A and B are shown apart, each in its own frame.
Chain A
């Protein structure tokens, strides 16, 4: 007992990325309409001061199946990880987000954050999100947040009553929802995809 149910996730499995002391890893995932993807990423933070930032964006409008499986293992103390995944599910798409943060015993002064936000556009779309925190050290700052919801009626009303057509109002809201995870060099491509979705 004691550390009883802590299990090293990298026994019998290799991490996709190992981040050492002082190293920095940044990854962005973009899934556009029409693509079905299984994204499975396991990261091991092994040296003090390692930093990881993950961003994800997904747009589904048809029959897509998009599955994220993220494993963030803080083996060493004093590391920081940020995760932000925002996506929109329409049509008859299925999205799952399975995100695990594990802070190993003695990985003190860890900061780990994870967020997953979803907008469900249609009756046929389904979203399942399971953000998980497993923490075995006490001097840590960890949080996760997950939401699923629809476009904000009040914001749409605001725009509609100021002369913005309905379709455009929706597009604007979706673009702003995705802004935080949109890579600068793919902005146009993503905005076009949102337009097609509406």
Chain B
């Protein structure tokens, strides 16, 4: 048993390999949140007046709102005046265009190349965000040849203000919820992507978010617009240093899918989960929503959630156009004291709209893992159909797994099916593996990977490999 404890300790303390801190000179705005801070952020980013107005309006809405208490989470009190809302690595004044080699090194270490390389397979364009600013966006020229715009949000505001203004906050209004309002007020950077009519994006696009500075929060905003008949596969990754303090991450992602367009959005969320005693970690409180605006549009969400001390996240789709379709595939793993309340909302408005939800929750240690979802069939959603499946796997007797689906049908022709199961890894399965020389840790990894396979197989190649490894690491130390 002592041996086991040692193994557990080693894994839980040492295995978050992205937990390092990069030592670069950074500039900060003062701690706290008020209209002056928002004006400062807006000024630092050289924003137009309309955007400052948008921020201030959101801030006033936020002040009148209250922190949501409905999630099945032990949310700590967050002191919003004790957070630094903007932190950016200092630029060399003589060579403002160049990226600090330390930053390149950081992203290199995380496996995110900032230099465009000639690789035969697996070319991915990356927008790398470090604390509050985007460091660089690769392959912009190659993409621009096809008319695709892929850049940081700040650049988009400067270079394509009309597009940003047309679509910003059309899916997630600034007053949508507490954290979306906060994000709208103080958001710093993020990615912007526009795929023109009929264009199939030749490579996967990706945003990588890195929190580095102490005492800060990250508030990025991503806006993806897929015009008629276009296609894009978008990936998102994130990591943060290991610290004793909890850091706030409140992001907003908006996706607009026009007629016959197709968007695939994949996330591998690997924020620092806190240590084995539940100290530190990221509070991941994000709003992600897409709209299938035109007829025949398709939006697919895939998420692998392994990190964060607390996750509060419901990537959702509004199926507005006729014959639109959406899918949600999720694997959420919680260990130690992690808490997750995650799921999706499928709002069917158009006729013949279809959606599918596959959610796999895995809880270990003393963690709490909840699926929360809404399937709503509007009065006009003729012949709409949804199928949901939510499975929970429990590892250890002190964790919890919960399922809170809401199904609402206002239409006699709509069909909704939901099923959920909760179970543990059976002794028989473990015995079978042990008997064949596979150790307990490895056996659990094997069984979990098999259990999550339906979701993992939806991920783009580069992500699938990483996600499989992550699942293994997240659960290490949970048997014994």
Contact = CB atoms under 8 A, between A and B. Distances in A.
Interface of A: 1-6, 105-106, 108, 118, 120-123, 125-150
Contacts of B337: 1-2
Contact of B394 (A2, A129, A140): A140
Given A123-B379, A140-B423, A147-B416, A6 B409 contact: no
Given A4-B368, A5-B368, A145 B406 contact: no
Contacts of B392: 133, 135
Interface in B163-189: none
A146 B409 contact: no
B107 interface: no
Most chain-B CB neighbours within 10 Å: which of A108, A126, A132, A133? A133
A96 to B, nearest CB: 9
Given A120-B412, A123-B379, A125-B412, A146 B424 contact: no
Contacts of B395: 138
B70 to A, nearest CB: 12
B418 A147 contact: yes
B402 A149 contact: no
A46 B400 CA distance: 20
Contacts of B422: 133, 135, 140-143
A4 B76 CA distance: 12
Interface of B: 72-74, 278, 337, 339, 366, 368, 377, 379, 392, 394-424
A139 B424 contact: yes
A144 B420 contact: yes
Contact of B408 (A121, A127, A138): A127
Contacts of A145: 417-420
B283 to A, nearest CB: 15
Most chain-B CB neighbours within 10 Å: which of A118, A133, A136, A138? A138
A133 B403 contact: yes
B381 to A, nearest CB: 12
Contact of B72 (A5, A123, A144): A5
Contact of B396 (A138, A143, A144): A138
B421 A142 contact: yes
Nearest to B423: A141
A138 B400 CA distance: 8
B412 A138 contact: no
B119 to A, nearest CB: 44
12 contacts: A2-B337, A121-B412, A129-B406, A131-B405, A133-B401, A134-B402, A144-B418, A145-B418, A147-B416, A148-B409, A148-B414, A149-B415
